[in-house]
Amino acid sequence: KYLQEDELSDECKKLLLTLPKERGWFVSHIYNYQGFWAIPRVIQGVIACQQQFQAQDSDIILVTTPKSGTTWLKSLLFVLVNRMKYPVIEQNHPLLVKNPHDLIPFLEIRLYVDGLVPNFASFTSPRLLSTHLPFASLPKSVQDSKTKLVYLCRNPKDTFISMWHFINNLRLHHKDIHPIEEKFESFCKGVSPYGPFWNHVLDYWKQSIEKPNKVLFLMYEEIKVQPKLQLKRLAEFLECPFSIEEENCGVIDEILRMCSFENLSNLEVNTNGKLSTEELENKAFFRKGEIGDWKNYFTTEMSEKLNYVIEQKFQGSGLRF
């Protein structure tokens, strides 16, 4: 179902005829809508969410580039924000029985997908939501409200490798895997899900500098290297800082342990479970969880080429990968 295109609305089918398209990642084609690339089913979800979603000031929205560690940050966010309601030591904590994507749903690929009308009645405040949308394409109410945006990105080389594995995993039943060279060329051209990658990252980077109370900019590598510091930054940004007592009791370490790759990837729900609305297996979101796996796949030429692109795109921004 994740890959099907035949259930699109007539309006969306008509729109697709007018959009630039390229050979796809997940499905046959990927289309450029509002300056970013997405598959048809996602575009339909994006339009619905842009038209219908009403943000609340208390909302917290996690925005990520695909394969940057969304699953990890969803788990950290959920446990952090709900730590009074669900103490970390609780045996039946929701994170132990549900995949993070079921706890913090995506707007455009979950709540508003396939013409669904989401029911927010079961959400408690603050509502925890997520999206991969570029800043300019966020629903207007998100931009106009005091909704907080937590942004996560990752080194483009590891992001690319993670994405390449993910699509091949999803396409297993097709029996043909995408040649890495072909997908690499697309990625460098900016043609990747929600890409160009650099535009996505740079737009949020600028917003985080202009509006530090609205957008927090996080990097996968920084969380890996300094997890405590980054979790404290996140807590402070969300106005739920750790108290001295919590720090002394080891709550920060406990949250990090609970959300670690090792812990999450070994839970029954994440080894044998499937997402509640998709056929997607939860284990697809846990592969290696390391920095630098690109070195096992990139040739020297690939590395040099992407270095060049990164340098061109990010120069002067103050951002380094």
The 10 Å Cβ neighbour count of residue 308 is 11
Site membership for ligand A3P, residue 67 (CB under 6 A): yes
Site membership for ligand A3P, residue 293 (CB under 6 A): yes
The DSSP output letter for 8 is -
Q: Rounded distance, CA 100 to CA 182, Å?
A: 31
Nearer to ligand A3P, 34 or 263 (CB): 263
Name the token pair of 155: 């080194």
Q: Which stretch binds ligand A3P (CB under 6 A): 191-199, 200-208, 254-262, 313-321?
A: 254-262
132 assigned to active site: yes
Instruction: Out of 59, 102, 108, 158, name the contact with ligand A3P by CB under 6 A.
Output: 158
Which residue in 132, 165, 178, 200 is the catalytic one?
A: 132
Burial classification of residue 76, based on how many CB atoms lie within 10 Å of its CB (0-12 exposed, 13-18 middle, 19 or more buried): buried
CB of 101 to ligand A3P, least distance (A): 8
Instruction: Out of 47, 264, 275, 302, name the contact with ligand A3P by CB under 6 A.
Output: 264
Site membership for ligand A3P, residue 285 (CB under 6 A): yes
Buried b (16+ CB within 10 A) or exposed e, 49-75: bbeebebeeebbbbbbbbbbbbbbbbb
Q: Which stretch binds ligand A3P (CB under 6 A): 45-53, 69-77, 237-245, 247-255?
A: 69-77
Residues 6+ apart with CB under 8 A from 56: 125, 127, 145, 147
Positions marked catalytic: 132
Contacting positions for ligand A3P (CB under 6 A) = 64, 66-72, 158, 162, 165, 259-261, 264, 285-289, 293
